Structures are given as structure tokens and as C-alpha cells.
Amino acid sequence: MKTMTCQQLGGPCDLGHRGQSADEVIKAQDKHLRAAVKAGDETHRPARQEMRSRWMHPKQSLGWYNDVKSAFAELPED
């Protein structure tokens, strides 16, 4: 397992997301952003909008995705 923070994934806070793969932490980040915005946390709204755009336009977001995968691969195991 490895951990990436909300901030490492483009968000505003230091909440850690743990997973076996970059895809797992990306999905956890998406869920976190949705929940934070739904709860009224406006600091997460810009990151949520960016994440929504990534899901809607995956080819355009390939650079971000590859950067996250590389950063995840370089992390030590927890």
C-alpha cells in the first residue's frame, strides 16, 4: 500500500488516500472531493471541477494521469 495526499493529487488538504495502485488513490480522491463539496467545503470545489473535467475528457487528461502514476510508483510502501 502507498499513500498520496489530496494535495499531491491537486486538492487543497493533506488527507491521505491509500491504495495498491494509482488508480485506487485517484478514485479515492474523486470520492473525497465529491463528499467535501457536497458537505459545503468550498476550498475543494476547484479541485472537484478539475477532476470532473478529467473524467469527462480522459484523453486530454492523460498527462496528469501519467504524472500521478509516476509519482505513485516512486513512493515507498507504507
pLDDT of residue 48: 97
Closest CA to 64 of 49, 46, 51: 51
Q: What pLDDT is attached to residue 57? A: 87
C-alpha cell belonging to residue 71: 509519482
Mean of the per-residue pLDDT values of the chain: 96
pLDDT of residue 38: 98
Query: What integer pLDDT is reported at residue 7 of this predicted model?
Result: 98
* Number of neighbouring beta carbons within 10 Å of residue 14: 9
Looking at residue 63, its pLDDT comes to: 92
Gap between the Cα atoms of 77 and 39, Å rounded? 32
- Which residues in the chain come in under a pLDDT of 50? none
